[in-house]
């Protein structure tokens, strides 16, 4: 092959376009998932804050007793946070694919 044919160039362009669409879709999905993760983390923080308030309103005797100990264990389980995700599409080098030369220099 001396250089890419028109069919090759057209196929590369179609593939690049399809990749661009997929990258955008994955990026949007990651953003949506991260928003959901943030909402979950906010909920956990709200619940834990309310648990802390409730426990703080109880007497020392209650906190030292079986009910208080069980409650403290339950609170500990709510000390939880999910990590948001990085966008894996940042590692896709579509620009280099699109700029591959059509013929020798």
Break the chain into its structural domains and give their ranges. 6-86
For 90-101, the pLDDT digits (tens) are 888 888 888 888
For 6-45, the pLDDT digits (tens) are 999 999 999 999 999 999 999 999 999 999 999 999 999 9
Contact 4, 102 (CB under 8 A): yes
Query: How much is the pTM?
Result: 0.76
Q: In angstroms, rounded to a whole number, what is the distance separating the alpha carbons of residues 9 and 103?
A: 11
Three-state DSSP at 60 gives: helix
């Amino acid at each position: 092959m001396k250089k890419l044919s028109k069919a090759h160039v057209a196929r590369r362009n179609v593939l690049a376009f399809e990749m661009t669409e997929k990258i955008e879709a994955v990026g949007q999905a990651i953003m949506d998932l991260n928003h959901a993760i943030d909402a979950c983390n906010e909920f956990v923080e709200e619940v834990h804050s309310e648990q802390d308030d409730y426990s703080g309103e109880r007497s020392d005797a209650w906190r030292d007793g079986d009910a208080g100990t069980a409650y403290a264990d339950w609170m500990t389980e709510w000390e939880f946070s999910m990590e948001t995700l990085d966008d894996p599409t940042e590692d896709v080098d579509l620009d280099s694919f699109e700029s591959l030369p059509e013929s020798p220099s």
